[in-house]
Chain A
Amino acid sequence: MTLEALLVVAAALFGIGVYGALSQQTFVMIMMGLELMLNAAMLAAVALWAASTGGSPKGQLLTVIIMTVMAVEAAMGFALIIGIYRIRKADMTEKLKRLRA
């Protein structure tokens, strides 16, 4: 388990997340892509904390902050999905081509 291997795994997760967020049409699936990218960021942060910071607790704190971002993203995403569904009956990006309801 080297730092390089960990960072390559994180890069693979991030790449899959980019692919998902760009290619999916359903809102919830796009959110899954975003979460995968944050997942990769968290893995890279913990890997660097373990290998290059000498175990400084500030590295773990960064991961806690990424987790907060993840929770905020999930709460806001679900709220927006409900809001859009109420107004436009839309569950896919293609239904929002027109800005006006």
Chain B
Amino acid sequence: MSTSLTVDIAFGLFSAATVVAAWLVFRTDSMVRAAYWLLASFAGVGAVMVLLHARFLGLVLVLMMAGEMTIMAVFMVMFMMNPAGLNPMTMVHQHRTAKIAGVVAFAGLALVGLVADFPDRPADRGRDPTADLGRELLGDSMLIFETAGVTLLASMIGALALASKRGRYGDAEEGSAPPPLEPVAGPRTGADTVTEPEAEADSGEHAGMSHG
């Protein structure tokens, strides 16, 4: 795969920026900033894809991730404590193991990339890869494409079912009720399955676990 000097310089800049942004995701105090660093990392990978002439995929990646990272930033503000990172904090566990695992994963994969003998068959620059992809998606691989669509539909339904406030067995806040000691006739209604003292203990615990 021979490339011109301009492409080489652009590749060096984009790949360095991608790796540095990915590293800063886990180094910044602010989680919202972490989301945008991750977006920067994805944008760098998208740019490298464009350099590799996978223009459609690169731009789709950037578009998709811009939406997803915005949602992620909103999630940070909604759910997490200290999303703005006004206080310096590190929220990590098993730091040593994680570092070792990361380095081992990098070394192993880089070794495979450097040592393995991949066939040298660069893409034909005369063809339009986007048109090729379009014909593939609506031709031979249409079934795969449709399966991906149905998978996305199923995950949307699953996400709605998981996140909905009220499910088939009552409100989501109640949690799961312990099963009754005596078998109950008829459908369970929720409230009558919990014995009184335990129910009080549970609700007290919930109040204690909530935080601002």
Contact = CB atoms under 8 A, between A and B. Distances in A.
A7 B106 CA distance: 10
Interface string B1-43: 1010001100100010011001101100001001100100110
Q: Which 6 A-B pairs have the closest CB atoms?
A: A7-B113, A15-B106, A55-B123, A19-B102, A23-B98, A11-B109
25 contacts: A1-B1, A7-B114, A11-B106, A13-B45, A18-B102, A22-B97, A25-B93, A28-B31, A49-B52, A49-B123, A51-B123, A53-B123, A57-B133, A60-B56, A61-B136, A67-B61, A68-B148, A70-B64, A71-B152, A72-B155, A74-B71, A75-B159, A78-B71, A79-B163, A101-B202
B127 interface: yes
B23 A16 contact: yes
A7 B92 contact: no
Contact of B122 (A6, A10, A51, A87): A51
A72 B151 contact: yes
Contacts of B25: 16, 20, 32, 36
Given A28-B72, A55-B129, A9 B19 contact: yes
Q: Label chain A's interface by main secondary structure.
A: helix
Contacts of B124: 54-55
Interface string B52-75: 111011001100100010011001
Given A6-B48, A75-B155, A32 B72 contact: yes
A47 B80 contact: no
Contacts of A52: 118-122
A43 B81 CA distance: 33
Interface residues on B, range: 35 or more
B172 interface: yes
A23 B99 contact: yes
A68 B150 CA distance: 10
B95 interface: yes
B210 to A, nearest CB: 5
Interface residues of A, number: 79
Of the listed residues A19, A32, A93, A94, the one surrounded by the most CB atoms of chain B closer than 10 A to its CB is A19
A64 B163 contact: no
Contact of B136 (A15, A24, A60): A60
A60 B137 CA distance: 10
B188 interface: no
A53 to B, nearest CB: 6
Contact of B91 (A2, A26, A55, A88): A26
A92 to B, nearest CB: 7
B118 A92 contact: no
Contact of B172 (A47, A61, A86): A86
B84 interface: no
B191 interface: no
A28 B80 contact: yes
Interface in A21-69: 22-26, 28-29, 31-33, 35-36, 39, 42-44, 46-55, 57-58, 60-61, 63-65, 67-68
